[in-house]
Structure 1
Amino acid sequence: MAKKFLYFIAICIVLFLVGRIGYEIFKDELAAFALVPSNEFTPTEPLEANAYQDPALWYSRPGIGINDPARWQPAYAATAAETREPATDRDKAGSLPNFAVFFIHPTSYLSRSNWNAPIGEIADEEAERIARVYVRGMASPFNGASEIWAPKYRQATMGAFLTDAPEAEQAIDAAYADVLEAYRYFLGSLDDDTPIVLAGHSQGSLHLLRLLREEVTGSPEADRLVAAYAIGWPISVDHDLPALGIAACATPAQTGCLLSWSSFAEPADPSSVIEAYSNSVGFDGELRGDSTILCTNPLTGKFGGSAPESANLGTLVPDDSMSNGELVPGAVPARCDERGLLLIGDPPELGSYVLPGNNYHVYDIPLFWANTQADVAQRAQALEPAN
């Protein structure tokens, strides 16, 4: 009996190893099979004029009240060495100038049924739930703002980023069209002199970068831009930044500049990310190749460099549902490496959504929640005297 059991264990190990090797060889193909729609692209009808007047097309905006996910304020963990409230809590700071935030959420639609997520009455319930979780965890660091706007949009499905099919580009363009309409409504709802913050993550950052190129650079809004936070999307220092017409943030008090980072624990294996980045075309029309990726250190607010975990004011550690959590100071350090990736040391325990290669993409903002909150407050205060 014991011998038969050992044979069984041996067979299981062999099957596991074969399966694991097969996964490593064909993981891209498997992901594409599971997520890329097989149907033809159906053009999305443009939204009706002034569609974004409807509060139902926003996750966050003025007037939503206590159900606004971006207005969530996590507490510091009871085990923190120092009991404190976030320094940029608007009710306590009192010194923050008025500013408005436009936040574009990352991909929450994973279905193969459509190239673009439906919104409104036919919205996908699971995509809606995930999007609200993302807004709660990623837009809430900007809650010192007088206004936060986070639109619903017909986002491209996850599979659109796993294929070179022309339908994928059409889906991304369709998603951007909604974001553009929401952004224009956002601007039209503000006073002409209100400072603005533009922020996004992953797919949201991709659309944000296009907004910067096509709508913000050279416009009157560029003069009142506190900063743009295009996080979780690789930006080439050589091939993208010059075409954007916006400088990387070099100091924590600089305004009108761009911040971006992509987080990996160590040992990091960013090979799949680097390969996709290297083979992609920059905003100048040339391959990005081995050009350096823009890496802002979120613990210092500067381009590049390193900072110890003691500089981390608070990492948002989520619960199992990802809908709640608490701030833990000093959880992780941050160091920009020579490629432009942000390394955070040993893998922290944040949940089950770490991607292969120790890629902490989903946690890019929560890792540095309190520092992001402090960063935007400092830049907003720096812009006020200039205005």
Structure 2
Amino acid sequence: MARKFLYVVATLIVLVIAGGVAYSLFGNALLRRAMVPSVAFRAEPPMPANAYGDRALWFARPGLTNTPVDWLPPGVAPGAPGNAEIFFIHPTSFVGTDRWNAALDDGETNGRAQIFLRGQASAFAAAGRVWAPRYRQATFGAFLTGDDAARQALDLAYRDVAAAFDQFLADADPNRPIILAGHSQGALHLTRLLRERVANTPLARRIVAAYVVGWPVSRVADLPALGLPECTAADQAGCLLSWQSFAEPADPTLILERYDASTGFDGRPRSGTPMVCTNPLTGTANAVAPASANAGTLIPDKALETAAMTPGLVPAACGGRGFLSIGDGPPDLGPYVLPGNNWHVYDYSLFWANVRADALRRLATWETR
């Protein structure tokens, strides 16, 4: 499984099946029945002190070789690495329903995580040294229910991420700037790291940018608590980026249903509030850009073992409540588009080359300010 490149993920197969006739008939309830564990949450002890000092608990970090983040599209030269320390939190790769949190030694789950890291975290490697921890992530079904078990599972996962972040801060070069990035569940945990470990601390001055991708961030009820402003300029440093990709016709009901029923980080309701939408093609907020501005989308080969970077294929436009539209004619990246024309799994690969350039540009600004 780990040899496959970016798109073979069992979670998505389940969702695509649900996205057909069954989804049209039963909608979100079907997803919940299929993916939410029916077992009780099982509490697990916290990581031992300094557990993340063990390199075995990292998918990537300085000192490890041939990691998933070292992958580059054919024809793309690595170049001299930048001076940043990059902490990347991978998205959900555990889809089990027999427990709420993944085991650290789950080979299938770890294999999927490495697939995601190749297509996502690799975009940041040119900017510096990438650190990507393993963690006991919550299962996919935890995002489909408001049960206490789901909250407990996410709390357990976050505790691992926070422990890894503490080790990252202890071991990383204290004179280097920091890029924070994540996707989906990883982006959710990143918002908590920002609130609890970065906002209103001296560490905030070291942050080049925070890429909170594939997770909704309310401009009104969330952003003020995160300690970083929204990125509004392409060369701005010390700011936050976020986007969620949909093709047309888009139906973001699955996201809006949960979002509008939730409370923001500052205690106010999120209902009806706009989300942060950074256009990854321009690096600016609420922008529209043609496909010609796209420097490279990752297109998988037929064997799904690598991908070519192809420019000029996908436009991007922020609109509505803050979702990112990629138009009505996106390329064929595989069959794993989620219900509602949600291109969630491709949030990074659609704009891989622009994300790479964005990180380098913001790093250059940070280093000269």
Q: TM-score by structure 2 length?
A: 0.92
Match of 2:330 in 1: 347
1:348-367 to structure 2, matched below 5 A, reads: 348-367=331-350
> Alpha-carbon deviation of 1:63?
1.5
> Alpha-carbon deviation of 1:318?
2.1
1:23 to 1:215, Cα distance in 2 relative to 1, 3 A: same
Match of 1:301 in 2: 283
Match of 2:13 in 1: none
> Alpha-carbon deviation of 1:319?
3.2
CA distance in 2: counterparts of 1:321 and 1:206, whole angstroms: 32
Match of 2:127 in 1: 145
Q: Is the 8 A contact 2:313 2:330 kept in 1?
A: no
1:8-23 to structure 2, matched below 5 A, reads: 23=23
Q: Is the 8 A contact 2:28 2:254 kept in 1?
A: no
> Alpha-carbon deviation of 1:272?
1.9
CA distance in 1: counterparts of 2:23 and 2:201, whole angstroms: 48
Q: Determine which of 171, 178, 184 is the counterpart of 1:189.
A: 171
Residue type matched to 2:169 in 1?
L
**Partner deviation per Cα, 1:279-298 (whole Å, 9 max, x = no partner):** 12111222211111110000
Q: Which has the higher contact order (CA 8 A, sep 6+)?
A: 2
CA distance in 2: counterparts of 1:245 and 1:20, whole angstroms: 41
Are positions 1:206 and 2:191 aligned together?
Answer: no
> Alpha-carbon deviation of 1:347?
3.0
**Partner deviation per Cα, 1:64-111 (whole Å, 9 max, x = no partner):** 11x2100111125xxxxxxxx46xx433xxxx6411100000000000
Q: Determine which of 293, 318, 343 is the counterpart of 2:300.
A: 318
CA distance in 1: counterparts of 2:100 and 2:227, whole angstroms: 31
CA distance in 1: counterparts of 2:20 and 2:97, whole angstroms: 25
Alignment RMSD, CA only? 1.6
Match of 1:382 in 2: 365
Match of 2:83 in 1: 98
Q: Determine which of 242, 246, 255 is the counterpart of 2:224.
A: 242
**Partner deviation per Cα, 1:2-44 (whole Å, 9 max, x = no partner):** xxxxxxxxxxxxxxxxx96653242322222221111111111
Match of 2:234 in 1: 252
**Partner deviation per Cα, 1:133-185 (whole Å, 9 max, x = no partner):** 00110000001133110000000001111111101000000000000000010
1:96-135 to structure 2, matched below 5 A, reads: 97-119=82-104, 123-135=105-117
SS of equivalent to 1:23: helix
Residue type matched to 1:187 in 2?
L
Residue type matched to 2:130 in 1?
I
Q: Is the 8 A contact 1:315 1:367 kept in 2?
A: yes
Q: Is the 8 A contact 1:309 1:334 kept in 2?
A: yes
Q: Is the 8 A contact 1:136 1:323 kept in 2?
A: no
CA distance in 1: counterparts of 2:334 and 2:351, whole angstroms: 16
Match of 2:215 in 1: 233
Match of 1:53 in 2: 53
SS of equivalent to 2:205: helix
Match of 2:255 in 1: 273
Q: Is the 8 A contact 2:300 2:333 kept in 1?
A: yes
Considering only CA atoms, is the larger Rg found in Structure 1 or Structure 2?
1
CA distance in 2: counterparts of 1:322 and 1:69, whole angstroms: 15
CA distance in 2: counterparts of 1:75 and 1:344, whole angstroms: 25
CA distance in 1: counterparts of 2:97 and 2:263, whole angstroms: 26
Name the % identity: 52
Residue type matched to 1:90 in 2?
G
Structure 2 residue ranges without an equivalent (≥5): 1-18
> Alpha-carbon deviation of 1:267?
1.4
Q: Is the 8 A contact 2:138 2:153 kept in 1?
A: yes
Q: TM-score by structure 1 length?
A: 0.87
> Alpha-carbon deviation of 1:322?
4.6
Match of 2:68 in 1: 69
CA distance in 2: counterparts of 1:177 and 1:231, whole angstroms: 20
**Partner deviation per Cα, 1:206-241 (whole Å, 9 max, x = no partner):** 000000011001222210101000000011111111
Q: Is the 8 A contact 2:296 2:354 kept in 1?
A: yes
Q: Is the 8 A contact 1:253 1:382 kept in 2?
A: yes
Q: Determine which of 139, 145, 149 is the counterpart of 1:167.
A: 149
SS of equivalent to 1:285: coil
Q: Is the 8 A contact 1:231 1:260 kept in 2?
A: yes
**Partner deviation per Cα, 1:315-358 (whole Å, 9 max, x = no partner):** 01123565421100001011001311100112321101110111
Q: Is the 8 A contact 1:320 1:351 kept in 2?
A: no
CA distance in 2: counterparts of 1:144 and 1:20, whole angstroms: 40
Residue type matched to 2:193 in 1?
L
CA distance in 1: counterparts of 2:106 and 2:146, whole angstroms: 25
**Partner deviation per Cα, 1:229-265 (whole Å, 9 max, x = no partner):** 0000011111111121210001111111000000011
Moved more, 177-186 or 273-282: 273-282
CA distance in 2: counterparts of 1:216 and 1:55, whole angstroms: 24
1:283 to 1:45, Cα distance in 2 relative to 1, 3 A: same
Moved more, 322-331 or 229-238: 322-331
Q: Is the 8 A contact 1:133 1:323 kept in 2?
A: no
1:142 to 1:20, Cα distance in 2 relative to 1, 3 A: closer
